[in-house]
Structure 1
Amino acid sequence: MTLTITHGEIARLRRSNPEIFRRPLAERLREWGLWLGFAALLAFGLWWIDASPLRIWNGLSKLGFLVVLMIPPTDGGAFLGYCYAMLETLAMAFLGTLIAAVLAVPLGFLGAKNLVPNRLFHFGLRRVFDTFRGIDGLVWALIFVSAVGLGPFAGVLAIAVGDLMVFSKLFAEAIENVDRKPIEGVRAAGGSGIQTMRLGVFPQVFPVMMSHVLYFFESNVRSATILGIVGAGGIGLALSDRIRINNWDEAAFIIVMILVTVAVIDNLSRRIRMRIINADTGRK
């Protein structure tokens, strides 16, 4: 039996029993308090950074003047140098991502609680992952520029260390969600611990790992341009130099190169990720 209530009946119920349809006063006051607190926090933040309308207007006017100086973008006769710097940036992103991914595989296995059931060890290792993940890649770049000097080597180390713990956490979570049947099958056949991981676990998580690695590689291509500005080499260093000497037309040309390169990398990475995901789905 289906009970149907018309809009007219609902309206009559609202008029005859308004207290049923009205939210409690305490709930409404709490909601208004949260909105007022949010508005106050936003207003305080804008006041703290001196985001006055006059300052915003002056900034937009100056930005418009800089955009005029950027048109048309020109390479200033250094096109080959910019191409080399872009290749250097791509190499930084690739090597940093690769090193982080390779080192993260054993850490991911160690951090998976279904493979290493020691709760104290698992908790401590995960907190190490979380601690290092809290340090931004730009901070690592500044540290390694001071440690090993200017150049792409510092950028590679910054990307590798910055991504290592993120990969480790993601890999550990992927390993924790594997199907137990292949693992039990390898163990039933007399496989050792290493063989169980290689034959029962790794084939299941490899597509997920590769998807994460490809996504981080395309993200690191963008990050590597910023790392170059602080001295880690690559196209970011060239962009910083052009901005410093007010060659805005050349700076615009470099920005266009970065945008085109990132777009191409994003497209290729997305195609590869989709192929890996489709192949894994087809096997299942």
Structure 2
Amino acid sequence: MTIARPADIARLKRLHPEVFTLPLTERLRSWGLWLAFSAAFIFGLWWIDASPMRIINGFNKLGMLVVLMIPPWPGDGLWDYVAAMLETLAMAFLGTVIAALLAVPLGFIGAKNIVPNWFIHFGLRRFFDAVRGIDGLVWALIFVSAVGLGPFAGVLAIAVGDVMVLSKLYAEAIENVDKKPIEGVRASGGNGLHVMRLGVLPQVLPVMASHVLYFFESNVRSATILGIVGAGGIGLQLSDRMRINNWQEAAFIILLILVTVSVIDTVSRRIRARLT
């Protein structure tokens, strides 16, 4: 391999300056984008009043809270916290399973290689986008008002929040399947149901299972936040302890959440690696 000498590079720059220099219009556009980004960033900091003094005072108060949290201690509520953590896991599990099951038919309907009707495909995809644009915390507030406090509201919030996202992911996976198994099923005399059952589902099932596992581990964290707004579980316990300034027990609950989520993440990651 020949290495270009500095003299050669300098000569090429003199002969062909347009290759080594961006046109003025592109440079102006690049500078304009960076200026717009900087202006939006500075305006955002001004809008939220992110002054250096507020940041310093916030870190000082955070340091005081950390001191109050040491040492983490469950007090007399150890088994209550364990039961609440299990309730959070149950919320995440039930919500994820319900969403995964409901998303299977929606995913097949939303895949254009299964249902080629443009109107159905476009309308269903836009419906997926509209519903998944609502955050799970908003769904939790809605269902807490509708069905009352407790984990049932959390399960519904997780299920409704996830079903549309999983449906879109399923549909995209179905659209990317290999056509040869499908053609083989049709050549053997299979109908549409046979094509989906024998030609499509075996190909996308590992991808679907991987998505479900990922959503489960994510929903464990989400269920904790949902509990703070009244959906039950460990989040409700954490909110109560913080409300009465019992920071040692709050620190213990936070550690319990971290350990649980870490274990689930590790196990789920290994299972997903085997599936994919």
Query: Which amino acid counterpart does residue 68 of structure 2 have in structure 1?
Result: L
How many residue pairs are counted as aligned between the two chains? 276
Alignment partner of 2:84: what SS? helix
1:13/1:186 CA distance change after superposition, 3 Å = closer
Equivalent runs, 1:115-194 vs 2, <5 Å? 115-194=114-193
- Give, in whole Å, the separation in 2 of the partners of 1:19 and 1:261: 58
Q: Report the counterpart of residue 243 of structure 1 in structure 2.
A: 242
Alignment partner of 1:191: what SS? coil
Q: Give ranges in structure 2 of 5+ residues lacking alignment.
A: none
- Give, in whole Å, the separation in 2 of the partners of 1:54 and 1:129: 44
1:94/1:26 CA distance change after superposition, 3 Å = same
- Deviation at 1:28? 1.7
- Give, in whole Å, the separation in 1 of the partners of 2:263 and 2:155: 21
Alignment partner of 2:197: what SS? helix
Q: Report the counterpart of residue 280 of structure 1 in structure 2.
A: none
Query: Which amino acid counterpart does residue 150 of structure 2 have in structure 1?
Result: G
- Deviation at 1:3? 8.5
- Deviation at 1:188? 1.4
Query: Which amino acid counterpart does residue 14 of structure 1 have in structure 2?
Result: K
| Structure 1 stretches of at least 4 aligned residues deviating more than 6 Å after TM superposition | none
- Give, in whole Å, the separation in 2 of the partners of 1:19 and 1:125: 49
Alignment partner of 2:74: what SS? coil
Q: Report the counterpart of residue 49 of structure 1 in structure 2.
A: 48
Query: Which amino acid counterpart does residue 180 of structure 1 have in structure 2?
Result: K
1:12/1:173 CA distance change after superposition, 3 Å = same
- Give, in whole Å, the separation in 2 of the partners of 1:198 and 1:13: 62
1:63 maps to 2:34: no
Q: Report the counterpart of residue 79 of structure 2 in structure 1.
A: 80
The percentage of aligned residue pairs carrying the same residue is 75
Q: Deviations over 1:64-84 (max 9, x none)?
A: 000000000000111000000
- Give, in whole Å, the separation in 2 of the partners of 1:188 and 1:20: 56
- Deviation at 1:19? 5.7
Q: Deviations over 1:217-275 (max 9, x none)?
A: 00000000000000000000000000000001110000000000000000110111112
- Give, in whole Å, the separation in 2 of the partners of 1:62 and 1:4: 58
- Give, in whole Å, the separation in 1 of the partners of 2:129 and 2:243: 37
- Deviation at 1:21? 2.9
Q: Deviations over 1:118-163 (max 9, x none)?
A: 0111100111111111010000000000000000000000000000
Alignment partner of 1:140: what SS? helix
Alignment partner of 2:76: what SS? coil
1:25/1:261 CA distance change after superposition, 3 Å = same
- Deviation at 1:191? 1.4
- Deviation at 1:193? 1.4
Q: Report the counterpart of residue 39 of structure 2 in structure 1.
A: 40
- Give, in whole Å, the separation in 2 of the partners of 1:146 and 1:4: 71
1:91/1:19 CA distance change after superposition, 3 Å = closer
Q: Report the counterpart of residue 106 of structure 1 in structure 2.
A: 105
Query: Which amino acid counterpart does residue 101 of structure 2 have in structure 1?
Result: V
Q: Report the counterpart of residue 214 of structure 2 in structure 1.
A: 215
- Deviation at 1:20? 5.2
Q: Report the counterpart of residue 29 of structure 1 in structure 2.
A: 28
Please give the root-mean-square deviation of Cα atoms over the aligned residues, in Å: 1.5
1:224 maps to 2:238: no
